[in-house]
Amino acid sequence: MTAALERWFRVTERGSSLRVECVGGVTTFMTMAYILFVNGAILGAAGLDPRQVLTVTALVAGVMTIAMGLAADYPFAVAPGMGLNAVVAFTLVGRAGLTPAEAMGVIVAEGVAITLLVVTGVRAAVLDAIPMALKKAIGAGIGLFLALIGFANGGLAARGAEGGPLLRLGPIATPRGLLFAAGVVLAFVLLARKVRGALLLAIAVTTAAAIALNEGVYGGALFGPGPVGRFPLEVLSAPDFGLVGRVSFGFVAKLGALGAALAVFSLMLSDFFDTVGTAVGLADEAGFLGADGRLPRMQRVLLVDSLAAVAGGLASSSSATTYIESASGIAEGARTGLASLVTGALFLGAMFLAPLAGVMPAEATAGALVVVGFLMVGVLRDVDWRDPTEAAPAFLTAVGMPFTASITDGIGMGFIAFVLLKTATGRAREVRAPMWLAAAAFLVFFALEPIQRLLGLGR
């Protein structure tokens, strides 16, 4: 077995060893295992059972990470993406009124579309058309949106009174509020001290504190009836695959042709740029990039990643994508796809941990959302803030998402602003054809509802 792995992955030739690859794979798993619990917390808002979500999250992450290791031979891990799950829960289900099955239909359609773009080579051309500032802003906007969700789930942000501010400070001076605040501080401290698996450890410690507080001080009354905040009666259970295959394409009839196309398009944009930026960033850190700055076998990485989006939709875990947390394994020396096999195997094993998902209170996972938001917003430092035609659309994209509670709306605001500002300042030549088409589509999208009301056709 050892000799076969050595030959297949050329471990020694690439300056690594079997031990280093295994350590790197375990490290990557520990760093990103928080998604097992956070994904359930987010998709739970869409009406899905967090225990079932943990099962399908582990299933998709395990299978697609192993596929990445075998097909692309890189230590890149794949799992349902943060931000993409927020689109499902808060935009497609919460705002557009889709059922969870219909929202997963959008995910599948998006994954199929990206796969076709990869196979035909169109993906590179579309990527080139979107300005870098907007690519950065999309990720940052999703990060701000996730942070807002974290603050709300943790009780720190609450709805304002009628006639008052839109948001206000929630009741932080309560046991649950203090629990959330302590979890956030702990996560940031562990992150600053570069502790491996910082987010997972913060979630675990906050959950343990919640159980101790609930059971030892409040007699089980802090979180109400149910398993939340209680000692788990069981830790292991048989995987529940009840969510697999719950997909509906009824979103086309419900949203209309244009609305459905834009829903797929906006989700695709988020997935689109996140993958390329992540893959290139990881490759640069590992020294995989060629002299021309390109990543060998990039087409394989993109193909596995796009198929992971399809798999995520079919399994109802939300769109899966390549994870930047893979950098932790690379930092440990992982250089081959063998590390991905180790990470994937650990995720498959995690399918049996579903009971733990029901124990974690919202305050424990909410802190992780805030920290993930912090990490995602950092890309705004690369925006040229001296050029309003670049910076203003990026700003509108980033703040538009949390302010409208819609990732699609934020992207649309940024695209339209970019085209208008470039045109008004005599720089229309800087706008490529796909951007004109996308901005026009978003204009129609924003005008559709008022036009329907004007004609008496509103829903």
User: Mean of the pLDDT values across residues 272-292?
Assistant: 74
User: Mean of the pLDDT values across residues 43-51?
Assistant: 94
Is the distance from CB of 196 to CB of 31 less than 8 angstroms? yes
User: Mean of the pLDDT values across residues 401-406?
Assistant: 85
Query: For the whole model, what pTM was predicted?
Result: 0.77
Is the distance from CB of 379 to CB of 397 less than 8 angstroms? no
Assign 217 a pLDDT band (cuts: 50, 70, 90): very high
What is the pLDDT at residue 452? 55
Helix, strand and coil content of the chain, in percent to the nearest 5, comes to 70, 5, 30
Given the structure tokens 């008496």, which residue do they identify? Answer: 456
Question: 159 φ, ψ to 5°?
Answer: -65, 140
Query: What is the C-alpha separation between 90 and 402, in angstroms, rounded?
Result: 11
Neighbours of 348 (CB within 10 A): 17
**Token reading at 116:** 């076709």
Express as a percent the part of the chain with pLDDT over 90: 51
User: Mean of the pLDDT values across residues 379-390?
Assistant: 93
What is the pLDDT at residue 457? 46
What is the pLDDT at residue 20? 92
Sequence ranges of the domains in the chain: 2-379
Which contiguous run of DSSP H or E holds residue 78? strand 78-80
Query: What is the C-alpha separation between 270 and 223, in angstroms, rounded?
Result: 35
Query: What is the C-alpha separation between 273 and 117, in angstroms, rounded?
Result: 13
Q: Is the pLDDT of residue 259 over 80?
A: yes
Q: Is the pLDDT of residue 458 over 50?
A: no
Express as a percent the part of the chain with pLDDT over 70: 94
How many angstroms separate the first and last alpha carbons of the chain?
Answer: 62
Q: Which of 114-123, 213-222, 450-459 has the lowest mean pLDDT?
A: 450-459
SS3 call for 112: helix
Q: Is the pLDDT of residue 381 over 60?
A: yes
Nearest 10 degrees: Cα torsion 87, 52, 33, 287 = -60
Assign 126 a pLDDT band (cuts: 50, 70, 90): low
What is the pLDDT at residue 459? 43
Which contiguous run of DSSP H or E holds residue 274? helix 251-286
Given the structure tokens 């924003």, which residue do they identify? Answer: 446
Top pLDDT among 63 and 87 is at 63
Top pLDDT among 43 and 450 is at 43
- How many helical (H) and strand (E) elements, i.e. helices and strands, does the chain have? 18, 4
Q: Which residue from 79, 81, 36 is spatially nearest to 54, judged by alpha carbons?
A: 36
Q: Which residue from 82, 39, 42 is spatially nearest to 58, judged by alpha carbons?
A: 39
Beta bridge partners of residue 159, listed in sequence order: 167
Is the distance from CB of 338 to CB of 300 less than 8 angstroms? no
Q: Is the pLDDT of residue 209 over 70?
A: yes
On average, the pLDDT of the chain sits at 88
Is the distance from CB of 30 to CB of 334 less than 8 angstroms? no
Q: Is the pLDDT of residue 57 over 50?
A: yes
Q: Is the pLDDT of residue 356 over 70?
A: yes
Assign 9 a pLDDT band (cuts: 50, 70, 90): very high
Q: Is the pLDDT of residue 281 over 70?
A: no
**Token reading at 120:** 């035909």
Is the distance from CB of 325 to CB of 375 less than 8 angstroms? no
Handedness of CA 229, 233, 235, 237 (dihedral sign): negative
Q: Is the pLDDT of residue 292 over 80?
A: no
Which contiguous run of DSSP H or E holds residue 181? helix 175-192
User: Mean of the pLDDT values across residues 9-27?
Assistant: 91
Query: What is the C-alpha separation between 360 and 232, in angstroms, rounded?
Result: 10
Neighbours of 143 (CB within 10 A): 27
Query: What is the C-alpha separation between 357 and 182, in angstroms, rounded?
Result: 20
